[in-house]
A = this chain, B = another copy of it.
Amino acid sequence: MSVSIEKLSEQACFGGLQGFYRHASVQTGTPMKFAVYQPPQAKDSPVPALYFLAGLTCSEETFMIKAGAQRYAAEHGLMLVACDTSPRGLNLPGDSDNWDFGVGAGFYLDATQEPWSRHYRMGSYVNLELPALIEEHFPARADKRGIFGHSMGGHGALVTALRHRKRWHSVSAFAPISNPAAVPWGEKAFGNYLGPDRSRWQDWDAGVLLSGAAYPRGILVDQGEADQFLEQQLKPEALEIAAQASGQLLTLRRHAGYDHSYWFIQTFVADHLAHHARQLLV
């Protein structure tokens, strides 16, 4: 059975098409918005799609508006896909009391605890439902998918690719929450979404997943050294330790003076699209 999507807008951009859409998500049980940039090459034949997961408080619009990635997607012939950061409109108890939990803070996992478990299924949404939808409605190749993200979304990208290595053929991150099970943002989110048993958290922790086995291709991570969340929440050194343990090829770049913002992301986004193009366009 075909799933329908609602077109909210489509506008020309760098010879391709920037669109915003909505659909009824089975995983979250809510309407979900998403954004797609189709590069000019997609008019001729399907192209690899590169999924971006945004950080806390962001939406499907943030990356598309602020990162300046369409130019590079048009050069390489990559589709860009961005989703929202959580279900919205549910009014679950406590879902809007904090900017770092609940609405805008789904952490790209599948919750197991009430009242979150019915709707907060962003893990399966990103890994399964959204790619199926994209590949049905847009000229996206099903055999070449890349994923990247920022902060909470950097965690989400790494975890999605590391949990499903055959489905995701390239991965990178900006300032990811690298070891969420050991930092305040992650403890709050995982404790509520996954429950108090910390052994259950490990399945959604990039550092833990990466230390167990290397991802089959190199991983690129950029981190600003003036990032206000670096020491307490992000801990990229966890990725370096994990990569050493598993023999992972990891390029972790630290940039003096850069903070946690999209000014940082836009500065280095060209390198990320080139990284994914190298791994997807083969």
Contact = CB atoms under 8 A, between A and B. Distances in A.
Interface of A: 11-15, 18, 65-66, 68, 70-71, 224, 226, 255, 257-259, 261-264, 266-267, 270
A224 B12 contact: yes
Given A65-B66, A71-B68, A13 B224 contact: no
Contact of A266 (B70, B226, B257, B258): B70
B264 A12 contact: yes
A259 B224 contact: no
A57 to B, nearest CB: 16
A79 to B, nearest CB: 16
B12 A259 contact: yes
Nearest to A69: B68
Given A65-B65, A65-B66, A71 B266 contact: yes
- What number of copies of this chain does the assembly contain? 2
Given A66-B65, A71-B68, A263 B226 contact: no
A70 B68 CA distance: 10
A12 B262 CA distance: 10
A148 B277 CA distance: 34
14 contacts: A11-B258, A11-B263, A12-B226, A12-B258, A12-B259, A12-B263, A12-B264, A12-B267, A13-B266, A14-B266, A18-B263, A66-B66, A68-B68, A70-B263
B11 A266 contact: no
In the A-B complex, the 5 residue pairs with the smallest Cβ-Cβ separation, listed nearest first, are: A68-B68, A13-B263, A12-B257, A11-B263, A12-B258
Nearest to A267: B14
A39 to B, nearest CB: 12
A71 to B, nearest CB: 7
A66 B261 CA distance: 14
A257 B257 CA distance: 40
Contacts of A11: 258-259, 261, 263-264
Contact of A68 (B12, B258, B266): B266
